[in-house]
Structure 1
């Protein structure tokens, strides 16, 4: 992925509070991915970035740590335990995985990435907007240039709380 994805919207970063989340932080918990939609800014076109039934989880802990991992719904199954070079490329292109800490503000969360499937993300701050309605968490990225087609857009991920 290109480094254009790194979310550096200074206005968003100013809206979060550093340190551990408050005790009553509503996003604390484990969330299962329901949908992953990419929206192109130029015309509003939307498509399911990882298919109709992506798999994944995001977790926010009271100690301020977070993780996210999600994959395409129809991933390649390698022929052997050790994927070939071609299979490895395909597998990498159909997943996102990272972990770190997070800072939270009103409808804004910033993921401070310590480790990532894409080393270009490691050490970066990824800003997200969120909306919480009951057990549904919608997380929307700030606009970024797609590594797949080069267009500007945003990702909209819908998660359901695991109870």
Structure 2
């Protein structure tokens, strides 16, 4: 395992999820101001990725339950590192269209911070903006951070 692959192994907590519009440079919080989620990279080469939007409420009706899928990203698969990219060969996903695909992401490690960039493309949710990409920032989970996260405020 090379240094990049070894450095990415572990559990990471979501700090921010933004979308950047290529033409204008405008950024906006695509999943709200306080999204939640984690990604876990195992040393055996599997990644789990689950993100949820801010302000999700339980749904009672079929329509409300279906709407919850609009603020969820979840998938898992085998991953490999190629330079500053990680590629996940997706075998389970919230969106069945992703199963069997290779999802490529650029990443940068800076100490206990992990920044993830999706490729530029026209995203269905913001098609009127033209090409955009997601910028997802995580913080490495440590024993101290886990204890701090559950401590009363």
Deviations along 1:30-70, one digit per CA (max 9) or x if unpaired, are 00000000011121111001011100000100100011000
Q: In proportion to residue count, which structure has more helix?
A: 2
- Distance in 1, Cα, partners of 2:124 & 2:37: 20
Distance 2:94 2:39 in 1: 15
Shift of 1:94: 0.7
Equivalent pairs, count? 139
SS, match of residue 67 in structure 2: helix
Higher relative contact order (CA 8 A, sep 6+): 1
User: What is the RMSD computed on CA atoms of the aligned residues?
Assistant: 1.4
- Choose from 25, 34, 37 the match for 1:53: 34
Q: TM-score, normalised by structure 2?
A: 0.86
Aligned residue runs from structure 1 range 118-137, under 5 A: 118-137=95-114
In structure 1, what is the equivalent of residue 133 of structure 2?
Answer: 154
Instruction: Please report how far the alpha carbon of residue 93 of structure 1 lies from its aligned counterpart in structure 2 after TM superposition.
Output: 0.4
C-alpha distance in 1 between matches for 2:57 and 2:30: 16
* TM-score (norm: length of structure 1): 0.81
**1:126 match: secondary structure:** strand
> How far apart, CA to CA, are the structure 1 residues paired with 2:104 and 2:113?
19
2:115 is equivalent to residue 138 of structure 1? yes
Q: In the alignment, is the contact (CA less than 8 A) between 1:76 and 1:90 conserved in 2?
A: no
Work out which of the residue numbers 23, 26, 34 in structure 1 matches 2:15.
34
Moved over 2 A (4+): 21-24
Unmatched 5+ stretches in structure 1: 1-20
